[in-house]
Amino acid sequence: MEEIDLPEAMVKIRRALGEAENLPRTVPFTDIPQMEMMEDRFFAVDRTVGAILGMNDDSVDFCPSDEPPAQDEVLAWLWIIHPEYRVGILELGNSAVRQAVLESSEGS
Protein backbone atom coordinates (compact mmCIF):
# COMPACT_ATOMS: atom_id res chain seq x y z
CA MET A 1 0.00 0.00 0.00
CA GLU A 2 1.33 3.39 -0.96
CA GLU A 3 1.27 6.60 1.01
CA ILE A 4 -1.94 8.58 0.55
CA ASP A 5 -1.94 12.29 -0.25
CA LEU A 6 -2.13 14.97 2.43
CA PRO A 7 -5.83 15.94 2.09
CA GLU A 8 -6.98 12.31 2.28
CA ALA A 9 -4.60 11.56 5.16
CA MET A 10 -5.82 14.61 7.10
CA VAL A 11 -9.46 13.54 6.75
CA LYS A 12 -8.70 10.03 8.00
CA ILE A 13 -6.47 11.24 10.84
CA ARG A 14 -8.91 13.91 12.03
CA ARG A 15 -11.67 11.29 12.05
CA ALA A 16 -9.48 8.95 14.12
CA LEU A 17 -8.55 11.74 16.54
CA GLY A 18 -12.22 12.57 17.02
CA GLU A 19 -13.04 8.94 17.73
CA ALA A 20 -9.87 7.97 19.64
CA GLU A 21 -11.87 5.96 22.17
CA ASN A 22 -13.02 3.71 19.30
CA LEU A 23 -9.57 2.97 17.90
CA PRO A 24 -8.60 -0.69 18.08
CA ARG A 25 -6.31 -1.42 21.01
CA THR A 26 -4.93 -4.60 19.44
CA VAL A 27 -4.19 -5.05 15.74
CA PRO A 28 -3.02 -8.33 14.19
CA PHE A 29 0.17 -8.09 12.16
CA THR A 30 -1.74 -9.39 9.14
CA ASP A 31 -3.83 -6.17 9.16
CA ILE A 32 -0.84 -3.80 9.17
CA PRO A 33 0.40 -2.37 5.86
CA GLN A 34 4.14 -2.27 5.27
CA MET A 35 4.60 -4.93 7.93
CA GLU A 36 8.21 -5.46 6.87
CA MET A 37 8.98 -2.00 8.34
CA MET A 38 6.71 -2.22 11.41
CA GLU A 39 9.53 -3.13 13.77
CA ASP A 40 11.42 0.04 12.76
CA ARG A 41 8.27 2.10 13.41
CA PHE A 42 7.71 0.34 16.75
CA PHE A 43 11.20 1.09 18.06
CA ALA A 44 11.18 4.67 16.75
CA VAL A 45 7.91 5.34 18.60
CA ASP A 46 9.22 3.65 21.73
CA ARG A 47 12.40 5.80 21.67
CA THR A 48 10.76 9.13 20.93
CA VAL A 49 7.13 9.08 22.13
CA GLY A 50 7.39 6.56 24.95
CA ALA A 51 6.30 3.07 25.88
CA ILE A 52 2.75 3.18 24.50
CA LEU A 53 2.99 -0.06 22.52
CA GLY A 54 3.03 -3.71 23.37
CA MET A 55 4.38 -6.40 21.06
CA ASN A 56 2.79 -9.85 20.97
CA ASP A 57 3.56 -12.93 18.89
CA ASP A 58 0.96 -12.04 16.27
CA SER A 59 -0.23 -8.51 17.07
CA VAL A 60 0.64 -5.11 18.50
CA ASP A 61 -1.19 -3.37 21.36
CA PHE A 62 -1.91 0.31 21.96
CA CYS A 63 -1.28 1.06 25.65
CA PRO A 64 -1.57 4.85 25.98
CA SER A 65 -0.43 6.49 29.19
CA ASP A 66 -3.36 8.94 29.03
CA GLU A 67 -7.05 8.10 29.02
CA PRO A 68 -8.42 9.23 26.71
CA PRO A 69 -5.22 8.97 24.71
CA ALA A 70 -3.36 12.22 24.02
CA GLN A 71 -3.27 13.39 20.40
CA ASP A 72 0.39 12.47 19.98
CA GLU A 73 -0.21 8.99 21.40
CA VAL A 74 -2.99 8.51 18.84
CA LEU A 75 -0.81 9.84 16.02
CA ALA A 76 2.03 7.50 17.01
CA TRP A 77 -0.40 4.56 17.13
CA LEU A 78 -1.77 5.51 13.71
CA TRP A 79 1.81 5.59 12.38
CA ILE A 80 2.26 2.01 13.59
CA ILE A 81 -0.95 0.63 12.09
CA HIS A 82 -1.44 3.03 9.14
CA PRO A 83 1.97 4.07 7.80
CA GLU A 84 0.23 5.25 4.64
CA TYR A 85 -0.95 8.28 6.70
CA ARG A 86 2.68 9.47 6.95
CA VAL A 87 2.23 12.94 5.42
CA GLY A 88 -0.69 13.80 7.70
CA ILE A 89 1.05 12.49 10.80
CA LEU A 90 4.09 14.62 9.99
CA GLU A 91 1.78 17.61 9.61
CA LEU A 92 -0.10 17.15 12.90
CA GLY A 93 2.44 15.48 15.19
CA ASN A 94 4.60 17.14 17.81
CA SER A 95 8.38 16.98 17.47
CA ALA A 96 8.61 13.51 19.09
CA VAL A 97 6.06 12.02 16.68
CA ARG A 98 7.71 13.69 13.69
CA GLN A 99 11.09 12.38 14.85
CA ALA A 100 9.68 8.83 15.10
CA VAL A 101 8.24 9.03 11.58
CA LEU A 102 11.43 10.44 10.13
CA GLU A 103 13.68 7.96 11.99
CA SER A 104 11.68 4.97 10.86
CA SER A 105 11.48 6.31 7.29
CA GLU A 106 15.25 6.58 6.86
CA GLY A 107 16.52 4.27 4.23
CA SER A 108 13.07 3.55 2.82
pLDDT digits (tens, 9 = 90+) for 53-93: 999 999 999 999 888 899 999 999 999 999 999 999 999 99
Q: At what angle do helices 95-105 and 38-48 cross, to 10 degrees?
A: 150
Select the more confidently predicted residue: 2 or 36. 36
pTM of the model: 0.92
Give the least confident one: 46-50, 75-79, 90-94, 104-108: 104-108
Calpha distance 48→6 (Å, rounded): 23
